[in-house]
Structure 1
Amino acid sequence: MAKKLGFFGKIAKFFKSVKSELKKVNWPNKEEITSNTLVVIVTVIALITFIGLIDLTLANIITPLIS
C-alpha cells in the first residue's frame, strides 16, 4: 500500500515533478531569442503605426462632424 503524503510531502513531490519537467524543456538558443525578439518589436511597431493612422484618420473625419 502506498504511503499517504502529508501537506509538505505533496509540496515536495510537486517541486520534484517541476524540476523533472524543466529538464525536458528545449530552451531556445541566443540566435532564436534574438530573432524572435526582433519579430515581436517589428510587429508591435507595425501595429502601433497602423492603429495610429486609423485613429488619426477617424479623428479627422469625425471632428468636423461634431463641431
Structure 2
Amino acid sequence: MFGGIARYFREARAELGRVTWPNRSQVLEGTQTVVVFVIVFTLFLFALDYIFSLGIRTVLQ
C-alpha cells in the first residue's frame, strides 16, 4: 500500500520535471487576457441584468 503511494509521488515528481513551464511574458499575457475577458463579461452581465430589471419593473407597475 505505502509502496504504491511512494511510487505515485516519485512518478509525479518526475513528470513535473518534464513539464514545459511558461515564461514570465507568457504568464503575463495570459493573465491580461483573462482579466480583460472577465471585465468584458462582467459588463455584459451587468447590462443584461439592468435591461431585465427595467423590463420586470415596467411589467409590475
Kindly name which structure, 1 or 2, has the bigger radius of gyration based on alpha carbons: 1
The count of residues paired between Structure 1 and Structure 2 equals: 61
Percent of aligned positions that are identical:
31
Cα deviation for residue 8 of structure 1 reads 1.2
Query: Structure 1 residue runs of 4+, over 6 Å off?
Result: none
**In proportion to residue count, which structure has more helix?**
2
Tell me the residue number matched to 1:29.
23
Which runs of 5 or more structure 2 residues have no equivalent in the other structure? none
Which runs of 5 or more structure 1 residues have no equivalent in the other structure? 1-6
- TM-score between both structures, scaled by the size of structure 1: 0.86
- TM-score between both structures, scaled by the size of structure 2: 0.94
